[in-house]
Structure 1
Amino acid sequence: MQFLRSLGPAVPGTAPVEAFRAGFGAFIGLGITGLCLLSTGVDLEYGLYLVAPLGASAVLLFAVPNSPLAQPWSAVVGNTAAALVSVAVSLVVHEPTLRIALAVALAIVVTFMLRAVHPPAGAVAMTAAMSPDAVEHLGFWFALAPIATGTASLVLIAVAYARLTGRRYPFRQFEQQNRYGTGDRVPAERLGLSETELSDILQRYRQSFNLGVEDLARLIGAAELQAAAHQTGAPTAGAIMSTNLITVRADTALGEVADLFRRHRFTSLPVVDEKQRFLGVIFQIHLISRARDDALRLDRGLMPALRRLIDPERDKPVLAIDVMSVTVPRAIATTPLGALLPLMGDTDVDAVPVLEYGKLIGIVTRTDLIAAMAREIARAAD
């Protein structure tokens, strides 16, 4: 039974929207890449145009963009090096089986040495070795087009597509600045472990081709938070949330929103409909960002733009719906504190709405979270 279970899926289930996101990205990537290759005047006589390995590269770039095997260096250098090796082998070795096996084997060796392991590179080598007439005709130009050109095109499209769909590609480097433009690690990743130590862990467990150092830091940080929640018996969102809420409607003017911010000293205001269904959240930074955009667009100072933004006498007042965020993290009453920490620690939000069947029943702010953690630390000390 254990053996049969091991033959089943090894990855967790994926949301349909993520599957369609990856598939649509591959569709766009291969379509545009095909047009790019046609524009280069690639020779179509031997059918070496949108070669099969580019489809395999598309799977990595659009479906698992966090994989070290899918990064730009691995993809472009790996595929190109494999093509060069295979063409060289094909021009020297004429026996088919030996030619194919040797081309793939040497491609693996070379991509390992170049730190550019990319599984489709094996298919690139095999494609060239199986097409000796085409290789004799194209020579080493095969490595340039379609391989290098096609792979580079896919990488550029994957970069743009990731940004448009809220993903990150290429993956963030360990020493890269955080979203605030400073050199500090984000709070969840301050592990006390250096990049070298994290790399050693990946090497020790032979996972360097499956995870990047940045991903490992993020996973360790998330695991530590979750373990801490288990050990302290941390409360749930329902136990620590604020329930006496001040909310606004979608058609509330920003002037009234600003008055509420000033009167209650809040940093966020939930937006609901007449039935208390949650619609979004307005953070103070939304008003500042909108005023800054208006100031740049109208060529005026920030304060005049802010006064104009919240002016109740405007002909067409700006409303809450015009600036609210609808993509903030959300929780339910039973969400544990350990799950709330990364929601606010690794995002730009400082309050998480708590919903019940789509209706707003409370909100957990960073103040609520800090107070709950302080209580748990005091209890643990006793």
Structure 2
Amino acid sequence: MPSFRFLRTAADLRPAAMPGRRACMDWLRLFFPQPVGITWHERVRMVLGTGLGIALVAVLAHQLETSLPTPWMVASIGASAVLVIAVPASPLAQPWAVLAGSAVSFLTGIACASWIGDVVLACGMAVGLAVAAMLALRCLHPPGGALALFAVLHPPEATLPAAGPLLLNVSVLVLAAIVYNHLTGRSYPHGQKAAAAAAPAGGSAFTSADVDAALAHYNDVLDISRADLEGLLHLAGRAAFQRTLGELRCSDIMSAPVHAVVPGTALADAWTLMRRQAVKALPVIGPRRDVVGIITVADFMRLANLDTHEGVGERLRKLILGRSRQPDQVASLMSIPAQQVQAGQPLMDLVPLFSEAGHHHFPVVDEQGQLAGIITQTDLVRALARAVAPR
């Protein structure tokens, strides 16, 4: 019996340990690289650009090797080349970040090497203070940390005169990056302001203030400009919206069968049909069931001339019962031509028509041009609601 209880206890413990094992495996997967979502053309562009950039800097800097008692080139320039060529849109790779970040970090390293006697302490202080200075000047540039450390570890070579060749190297690299990125279709310097990110047509589900709130909550340095981030969010929202609504056609949400009238229908009969079916518009069809017009409640109200001293009910009653001098047939009141849509037309095409053109009803016709249904603003709103908050 005791062994039986032990086996039951061990069996009970094994399922409980599975979540911990799964969490451990998920954590270990974080160390594996993720696929790089770029084309081979972009990879070749990066390889050629970094190689050519460093080669150009090396050729020019090597000419000064004999005339200056300082290093003619530092290793951190290679890291800067990767940034300005491979990720030219990154805030860490912009010209101000490269130039100012390199200069302030190198000077910080020289100061720490001169004022702090313990080289171990000087290493930590140099890199930490360099990062603080770059953050204060808004020029965070990762290779700057290497320059600060180089200045502490190689004090004989890291002197104020050495700042000249260093800035020359960096300046040549930035100029080469500007030319190369321009020739290969990349924006550099890259705009970092939020205004550069244009919202997609038709509005957006979020505003710049929403992006600011999300960034404040994230509270971390992003290696992407705010403009690009907002643009990506717009594109992602558009893609999600297109995925949920893009495959819908007008025939998927139209009301069918639809009640319709002919041009010779009496206004009284059309009004009665509207009231009985609780609709606000009736397509007007011809002999081949083609749409020749549309009559709406707004047409009745407009013809009733509501600005007169008579009330709404009295004016409509006279109009519908034929006691008015106004025409009494649908043909004289309907809107011509009627805006119509195809049954197979994407539903997304109707959004600007409803929101900007001021339409409220669209007769839907099939491939033969015959009336197949009608779409109202309510139908569109219902479809949008299902797309935004699917059940």
TM over 0.5: yes
User: What is the CA-CA distance between 1:49 and the residue it aligns to?
Assistant: 2.1
- Measure the CA separation in 2 of the matches of 1:79 and 1:165: 26
Q: Which residue of 1 aligns with 2:42?
A: 18
Q: Distance in 1 between matches of 2:125 and 2:196?
A: 43
Cα distance 1:125–1:220, how it changes in 2: closer, same or farther (>3 A)? same
Aligned-partner Cα distance in 1 for 2:201–2:164: 43
Instruction: Determine which of 240, 259, 271 is the counterpart of 1:227.
Output: 240
| Pair 1:157 & 2:181 matched | no
Whether the aligned pair in 1 keeps the contact of 2:246 and 2:348 (CA below 8 Å) is: no
Deviations 1:50-104 (Å, cap 9, x if unpaired)? 2111001111111111111111111111111001111111122233222222211
Contact preservation (8 Å) 1:62, 1:158: yes
**Equivalent residue of 1:94, what SS?**
coil
- Tell me, yes or no, if the aligned pair for 2:79 and 2:143 is still in contact at 8 Å: yes
Cα deviations across residues 105-139 of structure 1 (Å, max 9, x unaligned)?
Answer: 1111111111111111000111111111113xxx2
Give yes or no for contact 2:91–2:225 (8 Å, CA) kept in 1: yes
TM-fit CA distance, 1:158: 1.0
Query: Corresponding residue for 1:172?
Result: 191
> Partner of 1:90 in structure 2?
113
Matches within 5 A, 1:24-35: 24-35=48-59
- Provide the C-alpha distance between the structure 2 equivalents of 1:229 and 1:194, rounded to a whole number of angstroms: 19
Matches within 5 A, 1:256-271: none
2:79 is matched with: 56
Amino acid at match of 1:140: L
1:10: how far off?
3.7
Q: Letter of the aligned partner of 1:380 in structure 2?
A: L
What does the per-residue CA deviation read over 1:232-278, in whole Å, with 9 as the maximum and x for residues that have no partner?
25269xxxxxxxxxxxxxxxxxxxxxxxxxxxxxxxxxxxxxxxxxx
Q: Which whole-Å CA distance do the structure 2 matches of 1:188 and 1:40 have between them? A: 54
The AA in structure 2 aligned to 1:145 is P
Q: TM-score scaled by structure 1?
A: 0.55
> In structure 1, how many angstroms separate the alpha carbons of the residues matched to 2:181 and 2:233?
24
Could you say if the C-alpha distance between residues 88 and 189 of structure 1 is closer, same or farther in structure 2, counting changes exceeding 3 Å? farther
Pairs within 5 Å for 1:274-353: none
Which among 29, 45, 54 is matched to residue 5 of structure 1?
A: 29
1:176: how far off?
6.4
- Look up the match of 1:342: none
Runs of 4+ in 1 over 4 A off after TM superposition: 39-46, 175-178, 192-197, 373-379
Give the Cα separation in 2 of the matches to 1:172 and 1:189.
24
Distance (whole Å) between structure 2 residues aligned to residue 372 and residue 60 of structure 1:
43
Alpha-carbon distance in structure 2 between the residues aligned to 1:168 and 1:90: 38
1:191–1:217 CA contact under 8 A, matched in 2:
no
Among all aligned residue pairs of Structure 1 and Structure 2, give the percentage whose two residues are the same amino acid.
Answer: 29
The amino acid across from 2:380 in the alignment is A
Inter-partner Cα distance in structure 1 for 2:199 and 2:64: 44
* 1:372 paired to 2:391: no
Q: Which has the larger radius of gyration?
A: 2
SS in 1 for 2:224: coil
Which residue type is aligned with residue 150 of structure 2? Answer: T
Aligned twin of 2:22: none
For residues 147-185 of structure 1, what are the alpha-carbon distances to aligned partners after superposition, in whole Å with 9 as ceiling and x for unaligned?
A: x2211221111111111111111222436679xxxxxx3
Q: Is the 8 A contact 1:66 1:171 kept in 2?
A: yes
Partner of 2:211: 198
Instruction: State the AA in 2 paired with 1:134.
Output: E
The residue aligned with 1:134 is 157
1:41 offset after TM fit, Å? 5.8
Task: Give unpaired runs (5+ residues) of structure 1.
Answer: 179-184, 237-367
Taking a change above 3 Å as real, the CA distance of residues 43 and 6 of structure 1, as seen in their structure-2 partners, is farther
Distance 2:195 2:231 in 1: 14
What secondary structure sits across from 1:50 in the alignment? coil
The match for 2:7 is none
How far is the alpha carbon of 1:3 from its aligned partner? 2.1
Work out whether 1:218 is the aligned partner of 2:231.
yes
**Aligned runs of 1:73-112 on 2, under 5 Å?**
73-112=96-135
Q: TM-score, normalising length from structure 2?
A: 0.54
**Structure 1 residues 221, 36: closer, same or farther in 2, change over 3 A?**
same
| AA at the equivalent of 1:226 | A
What whole-Å deviation, never above 9, does each CA across 1:256-314 have from its counterpart, x for those lacking one?
A: xxxxxxxxxxxxxxxxxxxxxxxxxxxxxxxxxxxxxxxxxxxxxxxxxxxxxxxxxxx
Given that 1:188 and 1:221 are in contact with CA atoms closer than 8 Å, whether structure 2 keeps it comes out as: no
Deviation at 1:374, TM superposition (A): 4.7
1:65 aligned to 2:39? Answer: no
Indicate the SS of the match to 2:157.
Answer: helix
The count of residues paired between Structure 1 and Structure 2 equals 240
Equivalents in 2 of 1:78, 1:200: separation in Å?
A: 28
Name the residue aligned to 2:256: none
2:105 and 2:349 map into 1 onto residues whose CA distance is: 59
Tell me the residue number matched to 2:148: 125
RMSD value, Cα? 3.2
